[in-house]
Structure 1
Amino acid sequence: MPLLVAYPVIDPVLIEIGPLPIRWYALAYIAGLTLGWAYARALVARPALWGAGPRPDAETIDDLLLYAALGVILGGRLGYVLFYNLGHYLSHPLDALKVWEGGMSFHGGLFGAALAVVLLARRGGVPALRLADVAAAAAPIGLFLGRLANFIKPELWGRPTDVPWAMVFPGAGPLPRHPSQLYEATLEGVALFCVLFFAVRLGALRRPGLVSGIFAIGYGVARIICEFFREPDPQLGFLFGGATMGMLLSLPLVAVGVGLCAAALRKARAA
C-alpha cells in the first residue's frame, strides 16, 4: 500500500444564507473574475508596458469584466454540453440549464471569452488582439482558483497511483489517486501566470497577439501534460490510443498559439 496524504474534506458550501447556499465553486468564479479585473486594470494603467497605438483603458477593462463573465459561463456550459455529454443533453435538453449541477468546459469558456473580447473591442474601437492580450495575462488567476474549487468539491480527480502524495477522494472509490486538480492549479495557474508576468515585463504587450499566443501554447501544453494524470470523464473515457477529450481540444489551441506568436513576431520584425 502506498503512503497516503489524507484528503482534507472541506464542505463545498461555505455558508448558507437562508435557503441560499454560497459554494466555494461560485466564489472561485467570482474571485477569479474580480482579481483578474484588478490585475488587468493595473496593466493598462502602465503606459511603459505598451507600444504605440491605441490600447485598452480602465473603462474598457470595467466593461470586459461583464463581457468576460457572460462569455465564460455561457461558452463553458455550451462547450460541456457539446463536447462532453451531448447524448445526455439531447435526451434531456432542460438539464443543460442546470448550471448549478456542474459541468463546464474550459475550451468552451475560452471560446466564449474570445467572442466577448471581439464584440467589446469592436464596440469600443480597441484593437481586439490588444484587449485579448490583457485578458490572457489575467486568465491564469481564474484558472488557479477554479482548479482549487475542483479539488474542494471534489471532482476531476486523478488516475489511480501509488505515489506518496496519493489521495482517496470521496466518491471516487477506494483507490488512491493523483490530486490532478492541484497539478492543474500549479501548471495552468501559477506557472502560466509567472511565464506571462515575465513576458509582459519584457515587452510582450508591445507586440499585439504575443501574450495571447503564449497563453494558448502554455495552457494547451499544461493541459495535455495534466491529462496524463487526470481520470477521463466517465461518460467519454479514453477516445483512442489513450487520448482524452481534453488533449484533443488542446491541440488546436496550441496551434493557434503558435500562429499568434509567429504573426506578432513577424510584424515586430517588419516594423
Structure 2
Amino acid sequence: MLMQSVAYIPSPSEGVWHLGPVPIRAYALMIIIGIVVAVWLGERRWAAKGGAPGVVIDVAVWAVPFGLVGGRLYHVVTDYQRYFGDGRDPVDALKIWEGGLGIWGAVLLGAVGAMIGCRRHGVSVLALGDAIAPGVALAQAIGRWGNWWNQELYGRPLDTWWALKIDYGHRPKLPDTSVDPKYADIATYHPTFLYESLWCVGVAILVIWADRRFKLTHGRAFALYVAAYTVGRFWVEWLRIDEAHEFLGLRLNDWTALVVFVGAVGYLYWARDKTGPENVGAAPAAETAEGAAVVQEPDTVAEEEAVEEPVAEAPEEPETEEPPTEETATDESAEQLRETDESTAATDAKPEPDPEAETEPEAAAEPKTKTETEPEPEPEPEAEPEAEPAAEVEPEAEAEPETVAATEPGAESRDEEPAKGDSADDEPAPGEEPAQAAEDNEGGKGAPVKDAK
C-alpha cells in the first residue's frame, strides 16, 4: 500500500538545465549562492572589526577551493563503497555535481586554505574566522537546498503535511542499485534538508547576537558556530536512512559531531578570558596614514602661509586704500591739486632731473594732505604708508619727469615760472592753502611743499 500524505512538500522533477552544450545544475547554483552570501556577510563583519576591505574575498579564493576538495574527499572516504568495488566506477568520485560534500572535510581543508590566505595578508585567522562564522552557517543553509533538487539525504518515512515526497527512482537502494523493497511503496519522508537549513539559519542568528552581546573574539564566535551546528547535525543525522557506516550503534557522522562539539566547547572555555587586540591588518595601515598626515600637515600649513604672507605684507593694500582717499580729497579741488603738484615739481627741479629727489618731498607731504582733507577719526592706519613711500608715489614718479622734461629748454624759465605760476594760480579757493603755498615757495626749499598741501 502506497504511503503518501494528502499534503506534502513536492520534490523538483529536474535539477539540471542546459544552455546549449553547457549544463546548469541547481546543486552547484545553491553552493555558489551560499558562497556569495558568506563572503558578503563576512566582508561586512570584517569591516566592523576594523579590517581592510577585500581581505575576505582574497582569503575566499584560497578557502573555497580547499573546502570543496576537502568536502568531497571526506564524502568519498566515508562512503567509499559507492565508488569502489564490484560494479562501481571510481570516476564517479569526481562527479561533485551529483552531490556528496562532507561539511567536516570542507571546514577542515577550508581552514587550511584560509590560513594560507591570512598569512599572505598578515592577519589573524582566528579574527577572520569570527567574521565569517555566521556567513558559513548561512552558506550551509542555502547549500542544503541542493539536496532538495537532487532528492537526496532525506530522513525516515513521515506521514504529515510537511513531509517530503521522493520519486521512486530516488528512494533508498540496495547495493545492486535496485530500490529497497522496504521503501518501494513509501513516497513521503522527513525533509532533513529543510531541518538542517532552518537550524543553520538559527545558528547564524545566534552567533551574530552572541558576538554583539559578549564581544566574542580570538576565534570564540567561530567555535560557537561549530558547537551549535554539531548539536543540530547530531539529531538530523539520527533521522537519516541513507547508507552510512556505523560504530557502536551510531552513524559515523554522529560520532564526528560529538567529537567536534567537545572540541569547540573546550576551546570556548579555554579562550574565555582572551580579550586583547587582534591583528586585522588595518592598524598598521591606519598608523601609517596618520603618520603621513602628521608629517604632511605642517608642510601644507607652511605652504598656505607662504602663499598668504606675500598677500598680507604686500604694499598693495596702501595703494588700494590711497586712490580712493586721494579721489575723495580731490573731488572738491582736483584741478588745484594738480597745478600745485606741477608747481612743486618745477620749483624743486635741478639741471639733471632726479625722479627720486622730486618724489621724496611729495611722499612726505601726502600724509598731511590726508590728515587735513580726510574726516576719518583714525589717523594711525593712514600714517602706516609713510614707512613705504616708494609704493605710494610710483604713479606720480612716472608722470612727473614728463613735466620736468617740458621745462628743460632753459634754466631761466625754470626760475621764472614758479613766480608767474604762483601769481597766476592764486585763485580764490575754500581756504588759504594756495596763498600760503605762494608765500612759502619764495622763502624755502622743502617747506613750500609741505605748506602747499
Shorter-normalised TM range: 0.7 to 0.9
Q: Show CA shifts across 1:218-237 (max 9, x none).
A: 11111002112222x32x35
Task: Report runs of 4+ in structure 1 exceeding 6 Å deviation.
Answer: none
- Structure 1 unmatched runs, 5+: none
Counterpart of 1:177? 189
Mapped to 2, the partners of 1:139 and 1:229 lie a distance apart of: 23
C-alpha displacement at 1:260, in angstroms? 2.1
Counterpart of 2:215? 204
* 8 Å CA contact 1:213, 1:259 repeated in 2: no
1:222 aligns with 2:232: yes
C-alpha displacement at 1:202, in angstroms? 1.9
Mapped to 2, the partners of 1:162 and 1:87 lie a distance apart of: 29
Mapped to 2, the partners of 1:208 and 1:261 lie a distance apart of: 10
3-state SS in 1 of match to 2:256: helix
* 8 Å CA contact 1:13, 1:21 repeated in 2: no
3-state SS in 1 of match to 2:164: coil
User: Mean Cα displacement is larger for which, 191-200 or 1-10?
Assistant: 1-10
User: Mean Cα displacement is larger for which, 133-142 or 5-14?
Assistant: 5-14
Higher relative contact order (CA 8 A, sep 6+): 1
Mapped to 1, the partners of 2:97 and 2:248 lie a distance apart of: 31
Change beyond 3 A, Cα 1:12–1:130: farther
Mapped to 2, the partners of 1:34 and 1:92 lie a distance apart of: 33
C-alpha displacement at 1:145, in angstroms? 0.8
Counterpart of 1:36? 38
Counterpart of 1:103? 100
Change beyond 3 A, Cα 1:14–1:266: same
Q: Show CA shifts across 1:49-86 (max 9, x none).
A: x4xxxx64322111122122202211011111112226
Aligned residues with identical type, % of pairs: 28
* 8 Å CA contact 2:238, 2:254 repeated in 1: no
C-alpha displacement at 1:100, in angstroms? 2.6
Q: Provide the aligned C-alpha RMSD in A.
A: 2.3
Which of 202, 206, 214 is the matching residue for 1:191?
A: 202
Instruction: Map 1:137-148 to 2 at 5 A.
Output: 137-148=134-145
Q: Show CA shifts across 1:173-228 (max 9, x none).
A: 432311111111111x21111101212222434x2111111011011111002112
Mapped to 1, the partners of 2:20 and 2:90 lie a distance apart of: 30
Mapped to 2, the partners of 1:12 and 1:265 lie a distance apart of: 49
Which of 62, 65, 69 is the matching residue for 1:70?
A: 65
Q: Show CA shifts across 1:82-126 (max 9, x none).
A: 122267347754333222332211111111111112111222111
Counterpart of 1:21? 23
Larger radius of gyration: 2
3-state SS in 1 of match to 2:190: coil
1:114 aligns with 2:111: yes
Counterpart of 1:165? 162
Query: When the two structures are superposed, what TM-score results if normalisation uses the length of structure 1?
Result: 0.86
Q: Show CA shifts across 1:25-59 (max 9, x none).
A: 1111111111111111111222xxx4xxxx64322
